Structure formats: C-alpha cells, structure tokens
C-alpha cells in the first residue's frame, strides 16, 4: 500500500508539473503552443505526456477549471470573513477591499494562461466543456467584492448612491487584468494590486471635480473633434479582396487573438482559398500591420489633441478616459488585438500599432506635472508603475461600456480614476 501511495503521489506531482509548464507556455505564447513544446519543456517524451493528458485541450480545460476553483475558493473565504466581521470601521473596510482585490490579482497571475483563455473565444474545434468554462463569468468573486463594498457604504466609507454591482465588476476585472501581463516587469503583485485598489478608492485628483465642469473642458472638446473625423461604419466592397480580408482579419484577430488565428482561418471566414489570401496580403504579419496602423493613428490623434489642449491635468485624464470609451465602441476588435500583444512577456512580434511605451512616458510626464501643480494628489508609488496603473484604469471593461452605455461608463471612470468612490 505504501508503495502504491508513493506511486500515486509521484504521478500527481508529475501531472502538476506538466500543468505548471503548460500554463507558463500558454501565458507567453498562447494556444499555438504544441504538445511537443510542453513535453520538451517538461523534460519528458510526448508519449509520456499522453499518459497524463489525452490532448492539448484536456490540459487547457484542467487549467481553466483550476483557475475557477481557486477564484471561487478565495471568494468564499472573503464572504465568510465579511459575515464574521464585527468591526465596520472605515479603515478596516478599506483594508478588506484591498486584501480581496490583491487576492484576486494573485490568483490571476498564478493562472495567467487560464485568465487569457477566458478573454478570448476558444478555437472553433473546442469542446462544449471548454466553451462553457472559458465563457464563465467570475460571479463568486464579484459577489464577494460587492459585499465588501456594501460594508463600505454601510460604514460611511464609500459614497452613498454608488452602483455597487457596477463598481464590483470594475474592481474584479481590473484585478484579473493584472494577470494578462501588462505588469510583468513588476513581480510584486501586491504592490500593483494595492495601487490599483487605492486609485479606484481615492482617485488621483486633489479635489472632487464635478461632472458639469469636466463636460465643458477644452480637452474633452478637442477629443470630440477628433472622434467626429473617424470613419463611418465599415462596409467593404466584396469585390475588393484586400478590404474584405482586412475586415475578416479584424474580427478573427479580435475574437481569437493574433496568435490563435491562422491564414487558413482567415481564408475560411472570407470564403477564399489560402493561396488567394497569401497573394493579396503577403503574410499574416503584414496584414496585422495594415490593420493596426490606422487604429494607432486614430488613438494617437486623440492623445495629441488632449495633451495639446490648455486644460488641467485632471481634465486631460478625463478626456483620455472618454477617448478610450469611444475607442472600445468604435475599434473594439483592434483593441482586443492590441491587448493580445500586450499580454505576451516579452512580446514576440513587433508592436502592431499603438506606440505603447510613448504613451506611458507621456502619461508619466502628465502625472508629474499635475502633482507639482497640486492638481493631482494621490499617494503611493510614482513613476512608470503609477502611469501604467492610471493608464489601465482609463480603459474600462468592455462589457461595462457595452451594457451600461458610454455616459454611465464615463461617470464610472471619473469616480474610479479622478474622484475616487471613498470619502477621504
């Protein structure tokens, strides 16, 4: 019996090692990772890998299932702690919100590959089980965060009248986004999560700017002028194969991720042969560049108009958030493509569009200027990490923009980036 138990323990250990290896490879290279890649990185033969998992999809399913199990478990513990808590002092409430947010972020980083899989549609050949798991919302974590925020409202810590369901969704998705790789240079997950939580709770503005004041800013008017020049709805001429392929590629890259989409996928969706697609677009990399070039130009035009206005730092941040909300509505597919590039650590294809490092530097300068002038007054780390966190928060979750509407999304951005939802 002892020898049998030892064998089971060894086999379980090997299975876990394979899963950890696969998770690391999927996180950096996406689902293009092959079983051969996983076997080589695990130091075993492919035949031995099949002894533990019958297919690559079986590994993916197990990774996503483990992610949901851990996320649900920490949500259950948080709910129990909130139920047992007998002290609703604002300081303790704030601490519980930050600790829950940090736990979600740690979970997302540990299960980075699974989190990424849930951000994209599974392959067309995916089983019903994988589709079900990948599309499952983090409802338990959202419920726990909502209860933590409700305790904040009851204690007077969070402003009354706040939409707690919307705010909980915002908090949870922001924490899960930490697992997508944007902060891969910062191994201190707790520092990143804590800064993000504190920014949403207290905001970056030294004061509490009113909506009417922000609506009249020069920066907002400048962004509106740029957005009015955006093209109308795309309606490519079916006889223009290049335009048709670009339109199909926007949808497929945005839905599956760049790495998860093949030329064969694009040809099938466009109703063309693989050879025809190659003759028209040259390569997948060239196609990506042609799609993202216009996206980059549109986003940067909005940034340039905002930063070139005579508005305050607070008003410029507000205008950037409004720009991004409209980008999510107008260029949702390109945004998802950009997100799939950012998640790679390090990226193994050139930046496909938006000049991300330049934007971070410009935002870092804006935050420094606003802090020196007294317009911004947030504490905590400064520099590039602060710029990354603020930039991340100016991009609201797509589902919130889609379901709540752009105006509600803008008010939520003002509450969670500028003013903060907590009483200071």
Q: How far is 312 from 408, CA to CA, in rounded Å?
A: 23
Whole-number pLDDT of residue 248: 86
User: Looking at the structure, do residues 42 and 146 belong to the same domain, yes or no?
Assistant: no
Measured at the CA of 92, the angle between CA 89 and CA 93, to 5 degrees, comes to 85
Enter the tokens of residue 197: 């939580």
Same domain, 299 and 411: yes
Would you state the structure tokens that stand for residue 278, as one six-digit string? 């190659």
Does the residue 424 lie in any domain? no
Residues 90 and 225 in one domain: no
Contact 345, 408 (CB under 8 A): no
Predicted local confidence at residue 8, as pLDDT: 47
Regions in the chain scoring below 70 on pLDDT:
1-11, 87, 121, 123-124, 181-187, 231-239, 259, 339-355, 378-382
Give dist(CA 34, CA 39) in Å, integer: 9
4 & 83 share domain: no
Buried b (16+ CB within 10 A) or exposed e, 385-402: bbbbbbbbbbbbbbebbe
pLDDT of 349 reads: 47
* CA atoms of 390 and 141, how far apart (whole Å): 23
Helix and strand totals (H; E) in the chain: 22, 0
Same domain, 92 and 135: yes
Read off the tokens for 204.
Answer: 């970056």
What span, in angstroms and rounded, lies between the C-alpha atoms of 251 and 266?
A: 10
Tokens of 80: 């129990």
**The pLDDT of residue 350:** 46
Task: Note whether residue 270 is domain-resident.
Answer: no
Assess whether 313 and 218 both reside in one domain. yes
Average per-residue pLDDT in the chain? 85
Give residue 109's pLDDT: 92
258 within some domain: no
Report pLDDT for 118.
87
Q: Are 55 and 126 in contact (CB under 8 A)?
A: no
pLDDT of res. 232: 53
224 and 366 fall within a common domain: yes
Q: Alpha carbon 362 to chain centroid distance?
A: 21
Q: Are 46 and 39 in contact (CB under 8 A)?
A: yes
**CATH (domain of 23):** 1.10.10.60
Residue 138 lies in a domain: yes
Asked if residue 139 and residue 26 are part of one domain, the reply reads: no
Assess whether 221 and 340 both reside in one domain: yes
| Contact assessment for residue 199 and residue 393, using Cβ atoms and an 8 Å cutoff | yes
Residue 311 shares a structural domain with residue 371:
yes
pLDDT on residue 11: 60
> Which pLDDT value is given to residue 318?
98
Write down how long the chain is: 424
Q: How many domains does the chain have?
A: 3
- Residue where a domain stops, chosen among 167, 202, 237: 202
Cα(115)–Cα(98) distance, integer angstroms: 20
In a domain, 318, yes or no: yes
Q: At what angle do helices 189-202 and 384-394 cross, to 10 degrees?
A: 60
Q: Quick check: is 251 in a domain?
A: no
Does residue 28 share a domain with residue 158? no
CATH assignment at residue 189: 1.10.357
How far apart (Å, rounded) are the C-alpha atoms in residues 353 and 338? 7
pTM greater than 0.95: no
The whole domain housing 149 covers 68-202
Q: Is residue 269 part of a domain?
A: no
Tokens describing residue 121: 């549609």
Clarify whether residues 40 and 77 are in a common domain: no
* CA nearest neighbour of 19 among 113, 128, 127, 118: 113
What CA–CA distance (Å, rounded) separates 155 from 287? 54
Beta bridge partners of 383: none
| Domain-located, residue 256 | no
């Amino acid at each position: 019996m002892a020898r049998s138990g030892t064998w089971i323990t060894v086999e379980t250990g090997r299975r876990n090692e394979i899963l950890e290896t696969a998770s690391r490879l999927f996180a950096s290279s996406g689902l293009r990772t092959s079983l051969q890649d996983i076997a080589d990185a695990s130091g075993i033969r492919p035949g031995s890998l099949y002894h533990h998992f019958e297919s690559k999809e079986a590994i993916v399913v197990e990774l996503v299932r483990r992610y949901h199990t851990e996320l649900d478990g920490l949500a259950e513990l948080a709910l129990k702690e909130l139920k047992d808590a007998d002290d609703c002092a604002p300081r303790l409430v704030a601490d519980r919100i930050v600790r829950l947010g940090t736990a979600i972020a740690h979970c997302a980083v540990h299960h980075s590959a699974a989190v990424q899989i849930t951000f994209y549609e599974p392959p067309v050949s995916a089983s019903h089980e994988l589709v079900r798991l990948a599309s499952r919302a983090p409802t338990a974590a959202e419920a726990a965060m909502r209860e933590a925020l409700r305790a904040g409202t009851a204690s007077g810590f969070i402003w009354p009248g706040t939409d707690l369901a919307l705010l909980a969704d915002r908090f949870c998705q922001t924490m899960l986004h930490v697992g997508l790789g944007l902060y891969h240079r910062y191994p201190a997950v707790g520092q990143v999560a804590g800064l993000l939580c504190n920014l949403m709770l207290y905001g970056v503005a030294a004061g509490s700017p009113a909506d009417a004041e922000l609506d009249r800013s020069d920066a907002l008017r400048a962004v509106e002028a740029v957005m009015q020049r955006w093209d109308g709805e795309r309606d490519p001429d079916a006889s223009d194969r290049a335009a048709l392929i670009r339109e199909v590629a926007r949808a497929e890259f945005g839905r599956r991720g760049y790495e998860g989409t093949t030329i064969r996928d694009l040809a099938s969706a466009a109703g063309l042969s693989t050879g025809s697609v190659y003759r028209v677009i040259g390569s997948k990399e060239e196609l990506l560049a042609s799609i993202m070039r216009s996206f980059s130009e549109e986003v940067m035009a909005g940034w340039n108009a905002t930063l070139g206005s005579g508005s305050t730092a607070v008003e410029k941040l507000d205008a950037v958030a409004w720009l991004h909300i409209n980008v999510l509505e107008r260029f949702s597919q390109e945004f998802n493509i950009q997100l799939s590039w950012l998640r790679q650590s390090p990226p193994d294809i050139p930046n496909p569009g938006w000049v991300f490092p330049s934007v971070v530097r410009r935002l870092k300068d804006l935050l420094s200027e606003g802090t020196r002038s007294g317009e911004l007054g947030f504490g905590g780390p400064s520099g590039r990490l602060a710029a990354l966190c603020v930039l991340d928060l100016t991009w609201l979750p797509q589902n919130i923009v889609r379901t709540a509407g752009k105006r509600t999304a803008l008010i939520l951005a003002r509450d969670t980036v500028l003013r903060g939802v907590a009483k200071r």
